[in-house]
Amino acid sequence: MSTDSKPARWKVILGYGAFALVAFILCLLLTFPYETVRARIINEAAQAGLAVRIGSLRPGLSGVTATNVRVSKPPQPLSADLLGKLISGEGLPGAAELGEAVIIDSLAVRPTLFPPGVAVRANAMGGTVTASVGLLGDSKVRADIDGLKASGGNLPGFLGVDLDGVINGTLALTLPKGKTPEPDLSLANGELTLDTQGLIIKGGKASIPMGGGNSMPMDLPQVALGALVGRINFDKGLGTVQELKLKGEDIEALATGTLKLGKRLEYSEPAMDVNLRLDPEAQKRLGLLAAGITIFPPDKKDPSFRAARLGGFLNRPTFLPRR
């Protein structure tokens, strides 16, 4: 056989490479442990007090992708029976047992090589969230929030507050590894930035922290909160507020102080001075909410603002008059 009739070497290599790639994808599709991954995600979330429901789980070019993901906080800890139903996806109860859920349209997770770690992309609430976690040495976490609509993804149902507006922000943290394998949030270094535009509370119910740890449940009137912008720098778990302000048609607020991160986020401790000012017309129609703000003393530097102190923990804040 003449050499002219032999296929070129590069064609042989390309053919074998294509065959290997197709075989790998087929093996991945057929053998990927979807149910094991689903069970792991649901069990990990349950330990954090959350219920996760996954519509489908499949591989793709962007990694393993979950669709129609619902995350809720049950009123009671999940029983073994409920946990089994979440994993199997059969006989699931409704919101009365699992709570109202935030809906994530799709969530893709893939490994990264430079640096070694994991990348995540979520499509939810009309926007996107991209995140990366570096796993070599100290954990490096970065998350970018782009164009999330506060009215989307059933967030109003999850919070019990009817909201509208657009949420943007960035979180970049380095979490040193402590004595345990888990990164220690209370020692994190980095920065949080917020940029929320057109935020409006249209109604709903909320427990407003008033006094020494007591919360007052109240029906919320419509409040045009406007833009919330902020930047907090973290050094060894202590966040210093560089900027944190809210300015809308109905209310204006300025905050200074610190946020001490706990090992779990809900146990983080704010220690902030907050100045509040209501628009005179808004004050007439905001009822109890306006009355709660006017009990705070005038700020000594600018008496047009009311002076308050935010303390406690993120899961149990206190909002007291500032002395």
* Angle value at C-alpha 160, between 158 and 166, nearest 5 degrees: 70
Q: Which two tokens stand for residue 93?
A: 């109860």
User: The whole model's pTM is what?
Assistant: 0.82
CA 177, CA 316: separation in Å to the nearest integer?
28
- What's the pLDDT tens digit per position in 51-70? 999 988 887 666 788 999 99
* Angle value at C-alpha 193, between 235 and 254, nearest 5 degrees: 95
- What's the pLDDT tens digit per position in 250-271? 999 999 999 999 988 889 999 9
* Residue 184: pLDDT band with limits 50, 70, 90: confident
CA 59, CA 288: separation in Å to the nearest integer?
52
Q: Is the pLDDT of residue 188 over 70?
A: yes
* Residue 273: pLDDT band with limits 50, 70, 90: very high
CA 75, CA 323: separation in Å to the nearest integer?
37
* Residue 112: pLDDT band with limits 50, 70, 90: confident
CA 10, CA 173: separation in Å to the nearest integer?
46
Closest CA to 171 of 187, 155, 156, 188: 188
Q: Is the pLDDT of residue 213 over 60?
A: no
Q: Is the pLDDT of residue 21 over 70?
A: no
The residue ranking higher by pLDDT, 215 or 152, is 152
Per the document, the length of the chain is 323
* Residue 20: pLDDT band with limits 50, 70, 90: low
Looking at residue 19, its pLDDT comes to 55
Overall average pLDDT of the 175-201 stretch: 87
Q: Which two tokens stand for residue 200?
A: 């409006």
Among 6-10, 87-91, 203-207, 247-251, name the one with the lowest average pLDDT: 6-10
Looking at residue 219, its pLDDT comes to 81
% of the chain beyond a pLDDT of 70: 84
Looking at residue 39, its pLDDT comes to 87
Question: How many Cα atoms within 13 Å fall on the side-chain side of residue 286?
Answer: 22
Among 83-87, 132-136, 193-197, name the one with the lowest average pLDDT: 132-136
* Residue 316: pLDDT band with limits 50, 70, 90: confident
The pair phi, psi for residue 284, each rounded to 5°, is -70, -30
CA 53, CA 80: separation in Å to the nearest integer?
15
The pair phi, psi for residue 205, each rounded to 5°, is -125, 145
Under 8 Å CB-to-CB from 288, ≥6 apart: which residues? 216, 218
Overall average pLDDT of the 183-192 stretch: 91
Any idea where the domains of the chain sit in the sequence?
Answer: 36-108, 113-322
Angle between helices 34-47 and 80-88 (to 10 degrees): 140
pLDDT mean across residues, the chain: 86
Q: Is the pLDDT of residue 1 over 60?
A: no
Looking at residue 210, its pLDDT comes to 58
Looking at residue 30, its pLDDT comes to 47
CA 45, CA 246: separation in Å to the nearest integer?
32
- What's the pLDDT tens digit per position in 201-211? 998 887 766 55
Q: Which two tokens stand for residue 85?
A: 């139903």
